[in-house]
Each structure stands twice: as C-alpha cells, then as structure tokens.
C-alpha cells in the first residue's frame, strides 16, 4: 500500500503488487477463453481451435518458412550429425553449426554476428556489457518487454523511458544530459510487435549524425527475414552503418528457426559480449536441430528465392492496407508491415470482436493490458505467405463490421 | 436518521435536483461553485495521446493536506497530491496509459456549511470520441470551502469488481443543502 504524506518524486509499484495485478488480468482472459489455446495440427494457413478449423491470422512466421523443405531437411540433417542436443558449455566447445550460422548471418547482415540462445538472452548478454556506468540509457516505453527486463541489469546506469518514438523528447534528453554522460544509448524496437509501426529510422539517423554520444541498440526481432536486403531487417536496412549501432535479431518468427543474434560493427565488440555476456557463459546453447534449420534459413536468405518471397508478402501487405483504406477499416499504424492492430474502445469490445472473428472462422489475437496500454485494447493480426488474397478479403469484411463507431 | 428518511423522500420524489426546488440564491451560487470545481477536476485529469494531466491545475484544486485514495482489487493506495502525481507519472512513462479521458455523468451532492460531500459518477474512455467506455465508477469527493473557494480535501474511488456491474445511467442526480453557507 502506498503511504500518504511522503510526497515522493518517483513512484514504484511493489513487485508483488505488479504480479497480483497481472495475475488478475491474465486470469480474466484465461477464464473467458481468450488465451492458452492448443493446436493439434501444423500451423500454416489454418489453425484448429475447439475442433473448428480457422484461418490463421496470428502467425509471426511471416514468410511461412517453418514449413519450408530446406529448413526441415536442415534440422533432420543436424539431428543425424549431432543428435538432439550438444550438451556442453559453449565456452568450451560449440557445435560447428554455430560457426556456419554466424558466417551465414554475417553475409546476410554485413556485420560481426554473435548467435545467442534467444533474443531476450541476447539483450541480457549485451546491454550490461555495452552500456557503461558513466552512460545513460533511454528506452522507448513500448520497447519489447525483454528489453525492459534487460535494462534492470544496468544497475548503476540511469534508465529513462521515452514516450513512444518521440524524437522530440529524445533530442531534448540528448541536449539536457549530453554533458553529464559519456554515451547516451537509445534502446528501441525496429518494428513494434503490437502496433506494427517501424522505429523512426530517418529521424534516428539524423540524430545520430548530430549527436556523437548517441548510440543505438535496436531489437529488430519482427523485421528480420521479410524485410531488407538478404532479410537483414529494418534497422540494418534503414540506418547507416555505424560503430554506434548494435542490432539484435530473432532467428524465430520470420527466420523460422530458433535463437537470437547480435550484429556488431566491430569484431572486438562481438568478442567482448561473447566473453562477458552472462547468458553466453551460463545458459545453454541453441540445440543442433534448430541450428541446422537456422543454417538452412540463412542459405535461403542469401538466395534469389528470398526476394521473391519478400515481394509476395509485400504484395499481400499492400493489398490488405489498400483494401482497408478503401473500406474504411482503420489501423493504429499505416506502415507497410505484416502486423496490424485494430483498436477497440474497451477490453470487453475487443474480446467480443475476437469471439466474433473466431465464430466466423478467422483466428486473431485479442490484446489487452499489460501487452498494450490500458487505453489501447484491440485486435492484433498478422499476414503471412500462408494467407491468400481471398482470406484477406474475408478478414476485412468482418473487421469492418466489428469496427467501433 | 438520514438513512431512515432518504428512501422516503426519494419515494415521494422530493429529492430532485436543486434547481427544481426553491432553495434560495445562496445554494444556487454554491451549486455553481461546486460545478466549477468538479468540471475542472475532470478537465485536469484528462489528457490526449502524448499529453499529460494538468499538474498545476490539479494542485490548485486540492488542499495541501488532501488525501487521494484508490481502491483496487489488490490493495488500497493512499497518496498526497505529489505522491499521486508521481504514481501517475510512473504509469505514463511506463506506457500503462498513453491518454486518459474521464467525464462526469451524474452527481449527488450534500452540503452543510463549508463542507460538501459529492458522489460523482464517471465514465472513462479511450478518448473523448470513443463510443464505448473503458470503465465507469463513482468518485467520492469531500470538499471544504475556505476564503470563498471550494477545494478538495479527499478524493476516493474504487476500481474493484464493483465497477463491472455499475451502470452510470442508473445513477440518480441529487443535491441537498443542509444549513447555510458562510
């Protein structure tokens, strides 16, 4: 309980209080059947829910590579070569597939790549090593939860939260704090997983050119693969190459394997994080089957096939955006990404809309606090190569009917 | 005693809004003053996307010794005005809220001399244009009139399960003034 009369200048909710609140909200969602579903079948164009087949508008496998023959063959071949796991600390030995994968990702991104067990663990490994005691960290309020968790490890380094993508506020902090700190890190997502908007890359590039102290750490998990040359993602595509930028990638989602990766401009930085990043010393490795799939995915990303798949996905994205515009279906972001967010006025409406979508044969994700702000409940859906154009037509018809106002 | 008589008065339809009853000019002035404070309260706490509450305006509405109390399913939170601002700032910075709109939809007021107790039914929305509400409830507000100005001594509301069953449309407006204002 907060005590009166203290007049604090900052306020922090007790950890147990936050857990209780989240538990209450998640329990509500679970009891209403909104979350924790199981599927008995593969996860492509369709999803099975309560014995009913629904069109799948919820996958983050944007290029649908998880069912690609090359990736399946890569995983099988790795199992045959190394078995199901390579159980020794990576500090002593690593499976050769790690080296193959880092080389492939290096060619994809043009940087020095360190593969990590997950993107979340990449943040936990990199940020405490990269961000120094004399630095300041500024994090976008909507940055992925794993980034917020990782900034808790920065102990003595002050962390400021920024209003979502407010470059005006970022610049004011750069001016205000420039003389007090050695480096100022801005930590953000490349593509925000709920709203479906890109980071303001052009503005960030301008600020980075103006302020030599500004360093960027970008979690580009949702933009890898489907976006950019060789699928290097949005940050590496749209930000100029710089010693002051570090990008974290996901090898899940569009890449359709497992694990994460960090892209550095210099080998020394990579080595430093590799040597000193806690989870890289103490956590288990990505296991051979998924390393095999990841190596195959990297090969695919370096092949001409990728550009064709990216173009096919972009065709669907633009088709959906254009159709929505013409029909008057309004999304939170207009960026050409495969993530769409339909805002609703209340959590109850969002849940009712999700049920209506499901009953009409389309699976979408109802989204509520804490995944989004309290005042921004809604429906999140995504488009992948598995969705055909008639699926999108059907989706928009229903979305228009269920749209508030 | 009040609890005994109020239902009877209500049944006899005697508890109508003040303006329908001949209660004198002083009470009409008091009603206008309270209207101003309550209107301002909802104005200062509401803000659009990218904005924040009107902290200065809020401070002017509350007495220095004011208490702000929020009941949630998890706990009861008590703040002074600065503490409340710190808590709201934390919610804003962490992105729990990015905008806030709350408006009054009904009011019951009882006054005696320089003190007033207001039950103010409210609804919250995503923004002013939203067709459905995010939530609804009742603010319990105690005010004190000093040097010709009403200021808030206590603001209390319940965010618990009760709001789920609450319909502000059923909230009956009422105004009763006991005694005379100074």
Q: Count residue pairs from A and B with Cβ separation < 8 A.
A: 98
How buried is residue B11: exposed, middle or buried, by Cβ count under 10 Å (0-12/13-18/19+)?
A: exposed
Among A12, A20, A376, select the one facing B98 at the smallest CB separation.
A376
Residues of chain A with pLDDT under 70: 1-9, 405
Give, in degrees to the nearest 5, the angle at Cα A304 between A299 and A308: 115
Per-residue DSSP letter, A191:
B
pLDDT in tens, A161-220: 999 999 999 999 999 999 999 999 999 999 999 999 999 999 999 999 999 999 999 999
DSSP string, A268-321: HHHHHHHHH-HHHHHSPPPPHHHHHHHHHHHHHHTSHHHHHHHHHHHHHHHHHH
- Which of B82, B126, B165, B166 would best serve as a mutation to test chain A binding (most A beta carbons within 10 A)? B126
CA distance B111 to chain A (A): 26
Residues of chain B with pLDDT under 50: 1-14, 18-22, 181-182
Cα maximum dimension of chain A = 67
pLDDT in tens, A112-170: 999 999 999 999 999 999 999 999 999 999 999 999 999 999 989 999 999 999 999 99
Residues of A in contact with B75 (CB under 8 A): 1, 17
Please tell me the predicted confidence (pLDDT) of residue B25. Answer: 80
3-state secondary structure of A53: strand
Residues of A in contact with B48 (CB under 8 A): none
pTM for the model stands at 0.90
Is the separation of the CB atoms in A199 and A229 below 8 Å?
A: no
Q: Give ipTM to 2 decimals.
A: 0.85
CA distance B103 to B169: 13
Give, in degrees to the nearest 5, the angle at Cα A350 between A349 and A356: 85
Is the separation of the CB atoms in A188 and A143 below 8 Å?
A: yes
Among A1, A11, A166, select the one facing B76 at the smallest CB separation.
A1
CA distance A263 to chain B (A): 28
């Amino acid at each position: 309980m907060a005590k009166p009369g203290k007049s604090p200048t900052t306020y922090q909710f007790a950890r147990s209080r936050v857990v209780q609140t989240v538990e209450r909200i998640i329990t509500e969602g679970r009891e209403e059947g909104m979350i924790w579903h199981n599927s008995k079948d593969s996860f492509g164009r369709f999803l099975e829910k309560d014995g009913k087949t629904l069109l799948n508008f919820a996958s983050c496998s944007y290029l649908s590579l998880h069912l690609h023959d090359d990736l399946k063959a890569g995983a099988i071949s790795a199992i045959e070569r190394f078995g199901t796991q390579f159980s020794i600390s990576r500090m002593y030995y690593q499976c050769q597939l790690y080296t193959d994968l880092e080389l492939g990702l290096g060619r994809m991104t043009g940087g020095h790549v360190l593969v990590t067990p997950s993107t979340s663990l990449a943040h936990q490994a990199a940020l405490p090593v990269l961000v120094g005691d004399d630095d300041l960290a500024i994090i976008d309020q909507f940055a992925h939860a794993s980034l917020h968790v990782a900034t808790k490890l920065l102990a003595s380094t002050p962390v400021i939260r920024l209003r979502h993508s407010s470059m005006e506020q970022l610049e004011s902090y750069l001016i205000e704090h420039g003389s007090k700190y050695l480096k100022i890190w801005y930590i953000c997502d490349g593509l925000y997983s709920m709203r479906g908007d890109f980071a303001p890359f052009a503005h960030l590039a301008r600020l980075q050119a103006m302020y030599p102290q500004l360093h960027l750490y970008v979690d580009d998990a949702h933009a890898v693969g489907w976006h950019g040359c060789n699928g290097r993602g949005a940050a590496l595509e749209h930000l100029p190459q710089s010693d002051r930028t570090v990008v974290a990638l996901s090898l899940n989602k569009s890449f359709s394997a497992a694990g994460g990766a960090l892209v550095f401009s210099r080998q020394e930085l990579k080595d430093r994080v590799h040597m000193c990043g806690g989870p890289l010393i103490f956590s288990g490795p990505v296991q051979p089957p998924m390393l095999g799939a990841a190596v195959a995915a990297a090969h695919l990303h370096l092949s001409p096939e990728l550009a064709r798949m990216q173009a096919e996905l972009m065709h669907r994205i633009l088709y959906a955006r254009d159709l929505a515009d013409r029909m008057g279906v309004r999304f939170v972001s207009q960026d050409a990404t495969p993530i769409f967010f339909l805002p609703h006025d209340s959590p109850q409406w969002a849940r009712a809309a999700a049920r209506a979508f499901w009953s009409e044969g389309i699976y979408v994700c109802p989204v509520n606090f804490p995944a989004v702000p309290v005042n921004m409940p809604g429906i999140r859906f995504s488009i992948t190569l598995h969705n055909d154009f008639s699926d999108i037509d059907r989706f928009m018809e229903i979305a228009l009917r269920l749209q508030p106002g | 005693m009040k609890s005994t008589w109020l239902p009877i008065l209500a049944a006899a339809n005697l508890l109508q809004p003040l303006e329908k009853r001949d209660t004198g000019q002083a009470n009409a002035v008091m009603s206008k003053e309270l209207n101003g404070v309550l209107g301002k309260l909802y104005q200062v706490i509401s803000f659009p996307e990218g904005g924040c509450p009107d902290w200065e305006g809020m401070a002017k509405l509350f007495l220095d010794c004011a208490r702000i109390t929020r009941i949630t399913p998890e706990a009861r939170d008590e703040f002074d005005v600065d503490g409340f601002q710190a808590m709201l700032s934390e919610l804003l910075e962490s992105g729990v809220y990015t905008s806030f709109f709350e408006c009054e939809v009904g009011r019951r007021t009882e006054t005696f001399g320089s003190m007033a107790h207001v039950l103010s039914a409210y609804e919250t929305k995503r923004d002013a244009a939203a067709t459905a509400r995010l939530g609804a409830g009742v603010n319990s507000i105690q005010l004190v009139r000093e040097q010709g100005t009403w200021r808030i001594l206590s603001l209390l509301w319940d965010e618990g399960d009760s709001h789920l069953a609450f319909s502000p449309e059923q909230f009956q407006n009422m105004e009763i003034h006991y005694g005379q204002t100074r």
